Structures are given as structure tokens and as C-alpha cells.
Amino acid sequence: GENVEQHPSTLSVQEGDSAVIKCTYSDSASNYFPWYKQELGKRPQLIIDIRSNVGEKKDQRIAVTLNKTAKHFSLHITETQPEDSAVYFCAAGVRGATNKLIFGTGTLLAVQP
């Protein structure tokens, strides 16, 4: 069945450094890849998404890259700040299952001041 693997499960960086989270999906027909940020005790919130006709998308300090051939996509956060500390989830849209998303297992990012 459909599967999304996410690495690493935990990531600790120093404030100002960059953070990279990587995901791999199994369904080659997936064409939509959102990223969610979930702060402690809060709901997951969409922070950026990318579709398969685009290889990279950037929004201020956040960027996402997609390699459809390898079925990889990654989240890049530059100049990290303590408020970036949260759990980040990647997801992939499932072919033929309208709007269903398969979520990765999450990455706990800790930005040390």
C-alpha cells in the first residue's frame, strides 16, 4: 500500500543553522506534497506544499524540493529560530483517493538558542 517514510525522527540544530527533513513516498502517481508544522498541544498547520510539476518552491526561510524520479522530497529551513521548534510532518497525495493524504511519522525539530 501507500507509504511515506520520513527521516530523521529527531533533529537538533543551533539557532541560525539550517535544518533538512527528508521524505520518501511509494506511490509513483502521487502528485501533491504538503508539509505541516505542529507545535506542542496545537493542531498541524500547513506551512508549504509542492506539486509534481515543480521541482522546488520557496517561501522566505522555508523551501521544499521534489525529485519525482527518486520519489524523494525534502523540507529545508534556513536561519533557524527557536520558534521553529515543533514536529514537522510530510505527506503525499494518493492517486485515485481524492484528497487523501498519507502522512510521514514526523520529525521533532529542536532549535537550541
Partner 1 sequence: DAGVIQSPRHEVTEMGQEVTLRCKPISGHNSLFWYRQTMMRGLELLIYFNNNVPIDDSGMPEDRFSAKMPNASFSTLKIQPSEPRDSAVYFCASSPGGTGKEGQPQHFGDGTRLSIL
Quote the least distance from Cβ 40 to partner 1, whole Å.
12
Instruction: Give the strand pairing for 45-51 and 19-25.
Output: unpaired
x/- mask, partner 1, residues 39-78, rule CB under 8 A, reads: ---xxxxx--x-x---------------------------
Nearer to partner 1, 37 or 80 (CB): 37
Quote the least distance from Cβ 69 to partner 1, whole Å.
19
Q: Is residue 71 a contact partner of residue 77, using CB atoms and an 8 Å limit?
A: no
Q: Which ranges of 1-97 would DSSP assign to H, the alpha helix?
A: none
Instruction: State in Å, rounded, how far the first CA of the chain is from the last one.
Output: 41
